[in-house]
Structure 1
């Protein structure tokens, strides 16, 4: 019989090198829970949406052949259904397939993985545009103050223009960051 377990890729890679996997579920160890959570094929997607939606790193779906397990396993009643649990460490030889899983958005659909370089350059460009806007408003403030009040009020215009620019840019950046986290 095949059962399934969702694992953080980094923990699974370390377990393959160590020869034993002892993570029960996201944020909980075998020692914490007393068993490793697993699921049937019809259950793993629901488990992923419920418990792994906010996982920051890459995930893999492990397909486990129960005949190859060195630890005891059984189906336990949980609510109105049953789930398979492994009562001991998972030996990597029992894993017959591992499949990378794309990140989920909060509402449960797959979010495409973006490269670090793309995210890095997008952040740099966003911040540079914000800085240029603040500087442009500071310069516009200087010329407006000189035109209205005379040469001796140019510095005041720069300060007012920069403050107005920051008052525009900071909330926009906060809103953008909140949107990216969602």
Structure 2
């Protein structure tokens, strides 16, 4: 599952769930106005939030999108010409069934009342709560991120195990070319199985 993220107002996401598609490009801009929906990779969305949504008082959600479930192109493009920094852009409406998880982001926090010295303290951030696209509560974003990483590593190990297992079988059968051919066939079979598991996980995730 290839994943991208999109910051959305909770009200916009609620409207999209009712309509079946999400058509907001970014804060204050629609898909029709912008031509695409802005998205981010896992290492980018916090910077986008801090730069463009820091003063938003409405509840925000982070949409985790499985690009394998999209029926519109996803294009990596520079945020500004010549910057060298690219972001994923979705060229078409986002179907709600391509959103596999929804993360409730903490809203703005009011400072604590001043103490006797007149200073104020900022409370610790509230933890974010993750929900699936249907609204059920799930694990935190960090737990989800590492879970995906370990699952992907397991799939890679599966492919390697199939390849080496097939090579060992080829050695046992004998012949100069047999190990190499068996290794290629085993690796190909491992890739097929891993791809099937990968896509199945995205659709049930």
Report TM bin, short chain.
Answer: 0.5 to 0.7
1:92 counterpart = 2:96: yes
Q: How far did residue 66 of structure 1 move?
A: 0.4
8 Å contact from structure 1 (residues 3, 38) kept in 2: yes
Match of 1:54?
A: 55
Q: Which runs of 5+ in 2 are unaligned?
A: 110-122, 128-205
Is residue 94 of structure 2 the alignment partner of residue 82 of structure 1? no
Question: What CA distance in whole angstroms lies between the structure 2 residues aligned with 1:77 and 1:52?
Answer: 20
With over 3 angstroms needed to count, the CA separation of the structure-2 counterparts of 1:110 and 1:65, relative to structure 1, is farther
Q: TM-score, normalised by structure 2?
A: 0.51
Uncovered stretches (5+) of structure 1, i.e. residues with no partner: 114-182
| Cα distance in structure 1, aligned partners of 2:42 and 2:9 | 18
Matches within 5 A, 1:131-146: none
CA distance in 1, matches of 2:105, 2:24: 18
The 2-side partners of 1:2 and 1:50 are apart by: 22
1:27 aligns with 2:28: yes
Aligned to 1:37: 38
Distance in 2, Cα, partners of 1:72 & 1:55: 29
Structure 1 residue 74: Cα displacement: 1.1
TM-score when scaled to structure 1? 0.57
2:5 touches 2:62 (CA, 8 Å); kept in 1? yes
The superposition leaves residues 98-147 of structure 1 with CA deviations (integer Å, 9 ceiling, x where unpaired) of 00001246xxx97559xxxxxxxxxxxxxxxxxxxxxxxxxxxxxxxxxx
Q: CA RMSD in A?
A: 2.1
8 Å CA contact retained: 1:103, 1:111:
no
| Greater helix share, structure number | 1
* Equivalent in the alignment of 1:130: none
Is residue 70–residue 98 contact of structure 2 (8 Å, CA) maintained in 1? yes
